[in-house]
Amino acid sequence: MTNPTPAPIPPSTPDTTADATADATATRTTAISIRNLKKSFGSNEVLKDISLEVATGEVVCVIGPSGSGKSTLLRCVNLLEEPTSGQVFVGADEMTDPDVDLDGVRRRIGMVFQSFNLFPHLTVLENLTVAQTKVLKRSRAQAREVARHNLERVGMAHKEDAYPAQLSGGQQQRVAIARSLSMDPELMLFDEPTSALDPELVGEVLAVMKSLAAEGMTMMIVTHEMAFAREVAHRVVFMDDGYVVEAGTAADVIGNPQEARTRSFLHRVLNPMVIDASEITDEGVADLV
Protein backbone atom coordinates (compact mmCIF):
# COMPACT_ATOMS: atom_id res chain seq x y z
CA MET A 1 0.00 0.00 0.00
CA THR A 2 1.36 3.39 -1.00
CA ASN A 3 -0.80 5.49 1.31
CA PRO A 4 0.72 7.45 4.14
CA THR A 5 -0.27 5.91 7.45
CA PRO A 6 -2.79 8.19 9.13
CA ALA A 7 -2.24 9.51 12.60
CA PRO A 8 -3.77 7.30 15.28
CA ILE A 9 -7.06 8.46 16.73
CA PRO A 10 -6.61 9.59 20.31
CA PRO A 11 -8.95 8.19 22.91
CA SER A 12 -9.96 11.69 23.98
CA THR A 13 -13.22 13.20 22.73
CA PRO A 14 -13.50 16.53 20.91
CA ASP A 15 -16.02 18.29 23.10
CA THR A 16 -16.34 16.92 26.58
CA THR A 17 -13.06 18.08 28.00
CA ALA A 18 -12.31 21.54 29.28
CA ASP A 19 -8.67 21.02 28.46
CA ALA A 20 -7.92 23.22 25.45
CA THR A 21 -4.80 21.25 24.54
CA ALA A 22 -6.70 17.97 24.39
CA ASP A 23 -9.32 19.68 22.24
CA ALA A 24 -6.72 20.91 19.79
CA THR A 25 -5.16 17.46 19.53
CA ALA A 26 -8.51 15.83 18.86
CA THR A 27 -9.37 18.41 16.22
CA ARG A 28 -6.13 17.76 14.39
CA THR A 29 -6.37 14.01 14.29
CA THR A 30 -10.05 13.05 14.26
CA ALA A 31 -11.91 13.91 11.07
CA ILE A 32 -15.20 12.11 11.75
CA SER A 33 -16.50 10.72 15.00
CA ILE A 34 -19.78 8.79 15.03
CA ARG A 35 -21.07 7.82 18.45
CA ASN A 36 -23.93 5.49 19.22
CA LEU A 37 -25.72 6.55 16.08
CA LYS A 38 -29.23 5.27 15.51
CA LYS A 39 -31.52 6.08 12.64
CA SER A 40 -35.05 4.92 12.03
CA PHE A 41 -37.40 5.58 9.16
CA GLY A 42 -40.78 5.15 10.83
CA SER A 43 -40.63 1.80 12.58
CA ASN A 44 -37.73 0.62 10.43
CA GLU A 45 -34.50 0.99 12.43
CA VAL A 46 -31.78 1.04 9.79
CA LEU A 47 -28.80 2.12 11.89
CA LYS A 48 -28.55 0.35 15.24
CA ASP A 49 -25.95 1.91 17.47
CA ILE A 50 -23.05 2.67 15.14
CA SER A 51 -19.81 4.01 16.59
CA LEU A 52 -16.95 4.74 14.23
CA GLU A 53 -14.04 7.15 13.98
CA VAL A 54 -12.14 8.29 10.92
CA ALA A 55 -8.76 9.90 11.44
CA THR A 56 -7.46 12.79 9.39
CA GLY A 57 -5.82 11.35 6.27
CA GLU A 58 -7.48 7.99 6.73
CA VAL A 59 -9.33 6.11 3.98
CA VAL A 60 -12.20 4.03 5.32
CA CYS A 61 -14.17 1.80 2.95
CA VAL A 62 -17.64 0.75 4.03
CA ILE A 63 -18.89 -2.49 2.53
CA GLY A 64 -22.01 -4.57 3.08
CA PRO A 65 -25.14 -5.94 1.49
CA SER A 66 -27.85 -3.82 -0.09
CA GLY A 67 -30.10 -2.26 2.53
CA SER A 68 -27.57 -2.65 5.35
CA GLY A 69 -27.53 1.12 5.96
CA LYS A 70 -24.31 2.22 4.23
CA SER A 71 -25.78 5.21 2.40
CA THR A 72 -27.80 6.23 5.43
CA LEU A 73 -24.65 6.19 7.55
CA LEU A 74 -22.79 8.35 5.04
CA ARG A 75 -25.74 10.75 4.79
CA CYS A 76 -25.87 11.06 8.56
CA VAL A 77 -22.27 12.35 8.54
CA ASN A 78 -23.27 15.56 6.81
CA LEU A 79 -26.76 15.44 8.23
CA LEU A 80 -28.50 14.88 4.92
CA GLU A 81 -30.31 12.41 7.16
CA GLU A 82 -31.03 13.46 10.70
CA PRO A 83 -30.03 10.77 13.20
CA THR A 84 -32.71 9.52 15.57
CA SER A 85 -30.15 9.50 18.39
CA GLY A 86 -26.41 9.58 18.94
CA GLN A 87 -23.79 12.11 17.92
CA VAL A 88 -21.79 12.93 14.81
CA PHE A 89 -18.70 15.14 14.92
CA VAL A 90 -16.85 16.53 11.94
CA GLY A 91 -13.56 17.72 13.35
CA ALA A 92 -14.55 19.44 16.57
CA ASP A 93 -18.00 20.44 15.31
CA GLU A 94 -20.96 18.41 16.44
CA MET A 95 -23.29 18.03 13.46
CA THR A 96 -26.02 16.79 15.77
CA ASP A 97 -25.89 19.93 17.93
CA PRO A 98 -28.97 21.97 17.02
CA ASP A 99 -26.87 25.15 17.20
CA VAL A 100 -24.16 23.99 14.78
CA ASP A 101 -23.48 26.08 11.68
CA LEU A 102 -24.59 23.25 9.42
CA ASP A 103 -23.91 25.02 6.12
CA GLY A 104 -20.48 26.07 7.37
CA VAL A 105 -19.47 22.53 8.30
CA ARG A 106 -21.01 21.03 5.16
CA ARG A 107 -18.81 23.31 3.07
CA ARG A 108 -15.82 21.41 4.47
CA ILE A 109 -17.23 18.08 3.29
CA GLY A 110 -17.17 16.92 -0.32
CA MET A 111 -19.77 14.37 -1.34
CA VAL A 112 -19.73 12.29 -4.50
CA PHE A 113 -22.71 10.09 -5.36
CA GLN A 114 -23.36 7.30 -7.80
CA SER A 115 -25.15 9.79 -10.06
CA PHE A 116 -22.96 12.68 -11.04
CA ASN A 117 -25.51 15.51 -10.74
CA LEU A 118 -23.66 17.87 -13.06
CA PHE A 119 -25.65 20.79 -14.44
CA PRO A 120 -26.43 19.70 -18.02
CA HIS A 121 -26.71 23.25 -19.39
CA LEU A 122 -23.29 24.33 -18.07
CA THR A 123 -19.87 23.48 -19.47
CA VAL A 124 -17.42 21.46 -17.41
CA LEU A 125 -15.57 24.61 -16.36
CA GLU A 126 -18.80 26.39 -15.42
CA ASN A 127 -19.92 23.35 -13.42
CA LEU A 128 -16.77 23.73 -11.36
CA THR A 129 -16.90 27.51 -10.87
CA VAL A 130 -20.54 28.14 -10.02
CA ALA A 131 -20.47 27.06 -6.36
CA GLN A 132 -17.04 28.58 -5.83
CA THR A 133 -18.28 32.05 -6.82
CA LYS A 134 -21.70 31.74 -5.17
CA VAL A 135 -20.79 29.98 -1.94
CA LEU A 136 -17.10 30.73 -1.38
CA LYS A 137 -17.38 34.21 -2.97
CA ARG A 138 -14.29 33.63 -5.10
CA SER A 139 -13.76 35.93 -8.07
CA ARG A 140 -14.50 34.44 -11.47
CA ALA A 141 -10.80 34.42 -12.35
CA GLN A 142 -9.82 32.78 -9.09
CA ALA A 143 -12.60 30.17 -9.44
CA ARG A 144 -11.46 29.32 -12.96
CA GLU A 145 -7.89 28.90 -11.80
CA VAL A 146 -8.93 26.53 -9.01
CA ALA A 147 -11.23 24.67 -11.41
CA ARG A 148 -8.49 24.19 -13.99
CA HIS A 149 -6.10 22.93 -11.34
CA ASN A 150 -8.63 20.33 -10.22
CA LEU A 151 -9.54 19.30 -13.76
CA GLU A 152 -5.84 18.67 -14.21
CA ARG A 153 -5.82 16.49 -11.10
CA VAL A 154 -8.53 14.23 -12.50
CA GLY A 155 -7.17 14.21 -16.05
CA MET A 156 -10.02 16.25 -17.53
CA ALA A 157 -8.34 19.55 -18.36
CA HIS A 158 -8.84 18.97 -22.08
CA LYS A 159 -12.62 18.88 -21.67
CA GLU A 160 -13.27 22.16 -19.87
CA ASP A 161 -15.52 23.48 -22.66
CA ALA A 162 -17.52 20.28 -23.09
CA TYR A 163 -21.06 19.81 -21.80
CA PRO A 164 -21.76 16.82 -19.52
CA ALA A 165 -23.78 15.00 -22.19
CA GLN A 166 -20.68 14.99 -24.39
CA LEU A 167 -18.71 13.02 -21.79
CA SER A 168 -18.63 9.35 -20.85
CA GLY A 169 -19.93 8.32 -17.44
CA GLY A 170 -16.40 7.91 -16.13
CA GLN A 171 -15.44 11.36 -17.38
CA GLN A 172 -18.56 12.88 -15.81
CA GLN A 173 -17.73 11.28 -12.49
CA ARG A 174 -14.18 12.61 -12.64
CA VAL A 175 -15.58 16.07 -13.32
CA ALA A 176 -17.94 15.64 -10.35
CA ILE A 177 -14.94 14.78 -8.17
CA ALA A 178 -13.05 17.82 -9.48
CA ARG A 179 -16.08 19.99 -8.71
CA SER A 180 -16.08 18.69 -5.17
CA LEU A 181 -12.33 19.26 -4.83
CA SER A 182 -12.74 22.84 -6.03
CA MET A 183 -14.53 23.64 -2.79
CA ASP A 184 -11.36 22.68 -0.87
CA PRO A 185 -13.01 19.99 1.26
CA GLU A 186 -11.15 18.70 4.28
CA LEU A 187 -12.78 15.31 3.86
CA MET A 188 -14.72 13.50 1.17
CA LEU A 189 -17.62 11.08 1.29
CA PHE A 190 -18.18 8.78 -1.67
CA ASP A 191 -21.33 6.69 -2.09
CA GLU A 192 -20.70 3.96 -4.67
CA PRO A 193 -19.08 6.38 -7.10
CA THR A 194 -18.46 3.72 -9.73
CA SER A 195 -21.55 1.54 -9.53
CA ALA A 196 -23.41 3.35 -12.33
CA LEU A 197 -20.46 3.04 -14.69
CA ASP A 198 -19.79 0.56 -17.45
CA PRO A 199 -17.11 -1.83 -16.24
CA GLU A 200 -14.43 -0.43 -18.53
CA LEU A 201 -14.89 3.07 -17.05
CA VAL A 202 -14.60 2.08 -13.40
CA GLY A 203 -10.81 2.00 -13.36
CA GLU A 204 -10.30 5.64 -14.35
CA VAL A 205 -12.47 6.87 -11.47
CA LEU A 206 -10.83 4.54 -8.97
CA ALA A 207 -7.44 5.78 -10.16
CA VAL A 208 -8.44 9.36 -9.34
CA MET A 209 -9.63 8.29 -5.88
CA LYS A 210 -6.42 6.38 -5.35
CA SER A 211 -4.36 9.47 -6.14
CA LEU A 212 -6.46 11.50 -3.67
CA ALA A 213 -5.76 8.87 -1.03
CA ALA A 214 -2.05 9.08 -1.77
CA GLU A 215 -2.24 12.86 -1.29
CA GLY A 216 -3.62 12.26 2.20
CA MET A 217 -7.26 13.16 1.62
CA THR A 218 -9.56 11.87 4.36
CA MET A 219 -12.15 9.69 2.68
CA MET A 220 -15.11 7.57 3.68
CA ILE A 221 -16.09 5.42 0.73
CA VAL A 222 -19.06 3.12 0.30
CA THR A 223 -18.01 0.69 -2.38
CA HIS A 224 -18.44 -2.78 -3.78
CA GLU A 225 -14.99 -2.64 -5.35
CA MET A 226 -13.18 -5.12 -3.14
CA ALA A 227 -9.87 -4.97 -5.00
CA PHE A 228 -9.87 -1.18 -4.63
CA ALA A 229 -10.75 -1.40 -0.93
CA ARG A 230 -8.01 -3.92 -0.41
CA GLU A 231 -5.42 -1.75 -2.07
CA VAL A 232 -6.39 1.73 -0.89
CA ALA A 233 -8.34 1.51 2.39
CA HIS A 234 -6.54 1.94 5.66
CA ARG A 235 -9.58 0.39 7.26
CA VAL A 236 -12.59 -1.57 6.04
CA VAL A 237 -15.92 -1.55 7.84
CA PHE A 238 -18.40 -4.32 7.11
CA MET A 239 -22.03 -3.43 7.84
CA ASP A 240 -25.01 -5.71 7.92
CA ASP A 241 -28.56 -5.03 9.04
CA GLY A 242 -27.70 -1.65 10.57
CA TYR A 243 -24.71 -2.85 12.58
CA VAL A 244 -20.97 -2.64 12.12
CA VAL A 245 -20.26 -6.35 12.17
CA GLU A 246 -16.54 -6.21 11.62
CA ALA A 247 -13.92 -3.49 11.13
CA GLY A 248 -10.18 -3.61 10.67
CA THR A 249 -7.49 -3.53 8.06
CA ALA A 250 -8.46 -4.56 4.56
CA ALA A 251 -6.18 -7.55 4.86
CA ASP A 252 -8.10 -8.69 7.94
CA VAL A 253 -11.69 -7.89 6.99
CA ILE A 254 -11.50 -8.86 3.32
CA GLY A 255 -8.59 -11.27 3.46
CA ASN A 256 -9.35 -13.04 6.71
CA PRO A 257 -12.88 -12.21 7.93
CA GLN A 258 -13.75 -13.44 11.40
CA GLU A 259 -17.54 -13.19 11.27
CA ALA A 260 -19.75 -15.61 9.37
CA ARG A 261 -21.83 -12.76 7.94
CA THR A 262 -18.73 -11.07 6.53
CA ARG A 263 -17.56 -14.32 5.00
CA SER A 264 -20.93 -14.99 3.41
CA PHE A 265 -21.10 -11.45 1.97
CA LEU A 266 -17.60 -11.62 0.55
CA HIS A 267 -18.27 -15.04 -0.89
CA ARG A 268 -21.26 -13.64 -2.78
CA VAL A 269 -19.45 -10.50 -3.97
CA LEU A 270 -16.36 -12.33 -5.07
CA ASN A 271 -18.32 -15.21 -6.63
CA PRO A 272 -21.40 -13.54 -8.09
CA MET A 273 -22.42 -16.59 -10.09
CA VAL A 274 -22.54 -18.82 -7.03
CA ILE A 275 -25.83 -18.89 -5.15
CA ASP A 276 -25.97 -20.74 -1.85
CA ALA A 277 -28.94 -23.06 -1.39
CA SER A 278 -29.64 -21.21 1.87
CA GLU A 279 -30.28 -18.02 -0.09
CA ILE A 280 -33.11 -19.49 -2.10
CA THR A 281 -36.44 -19.06 -0.38
CA ASP A 282 -40.07 -19.59 -1.39
CA GLU A 283 -39.97 -16.06 -2.81
CA GLY A 284 -36.89 -16.69 -4.89
CA VAL A 285 -33.33 -15.64 -4.27
CA ALA A 286 -33.03 -13.56 -1.11
CA ASP A 287 -31.46 -10.15 -1.14
CA LEU A 288 -28.23 -10.62 -2.98
CA VAL A 289 -25.71 -7.78 -2.92
- Name the residues that contact ligand ATP, by CB under 6 A: 41, 46, 64, 66-72
Select the binding partner of residue 68 from Mg ion, ligand ATP, none (C-beta < 5 to 8 A, by kind).
ligand ATP
Nearer to Mg ion, 130 or 196 (CB): 196
Distance in Å, CB of 64 to ligand ATP, minimum:
6
Distance in Å, CB of 239 to ligand ATP, minimum:
7
Select the binding partner of residue 150 from Mg ion, ligand ATP, none (C-beta < 5 to 8 A, by kind).
none
Cα 286 from Cα 7, distance rounded (Å): 41
Cα 249 from Cα 237, distance rounded (Å): 9
Q: Are 63 and 227 in contact (CB under 8 A)?
A: no
Nearer to ligand ATP, 163 or 243 (CB): 243
Nearer to ligand ATP, 53 or 240 (CB): 240
Select the binding partner of residue 41 from Mg ion, ligand ATP, none (C-beta < 5 to 8 A, by kind).
ligand ATP
Distance in Å, CB of 72 to ligand ATP, minimum:
3
Nearer to ligand ATP, 84 or 211 (CB): 84
Burial of 241 (0-12, 13-18, 19+ CB in 10 A): middle
Cα 240 from Cα 236, distance rounded (Å): 13
Output DSSP code: residue 175.
H
Residues that bind Mg ion (CB under 5 A): 71
Nearer to Mg ion, 67 or 216 (CB): 67
Select the binding partner of residue 51 from ligand ATP, Mg ion, none (C-beta < 5 to 8 A, by kind).
none
Q: Are 219 and 191 in contact (CB under 8 A)?
A: no
Distance in Å, CB of 82 to ligand ATP, minimum:
11
Closest Cα partner for 234 from 88, 109, 54?
A: 54
Cα 174 from Cα 60, distance rounded (Å): 20
Distance in Å, CB of 62 to ligand ATP, minimum:
8
Q: Which amino acid type is present at position 123?
A: T
Closest Cα partner for 40 from 70, 77, 98, 81?
A: 81
